Amino acid sequence: MRGFVKPLIPLNAAKLHIFLESCKYFSAFSQLFLIYSTDILFNSRYEAVIFIR
């Protein structure tokens, strides 16, 4: 049992590390996406206002 449990610890640590790295990249990407999407929304709204005038 002991020999079975021991190899799981580094594997879980590696999985956790990969998970944390992907979370970091995902958060950065989502922030960029939010910035760009709001920028596009405001620009299109501004253009729509100009078009109505």
Separation of alpha carbons 19 and 44, rounded Å: 36
Tens of pLDDT, residues 3-52:
555 666 677 777 888 888 888 888 888 888 887 777 777 776 666 555 55
| Whether pTM exceeds 0.75 | no
Cα end-to-end distance, the chain, whole Å: 77
SS (H, E, C) the chain: CHHHHCCHHHHHHHHHHHHHHHHHHHHHHHHHHHHHHHHHHHHHHHHHHHHHC
| d(C-alpha 18, C-alpha 50), whole Å | 48
**pLDDT number for residue 6:** 63
**2 pLDDT higher than 80:** no
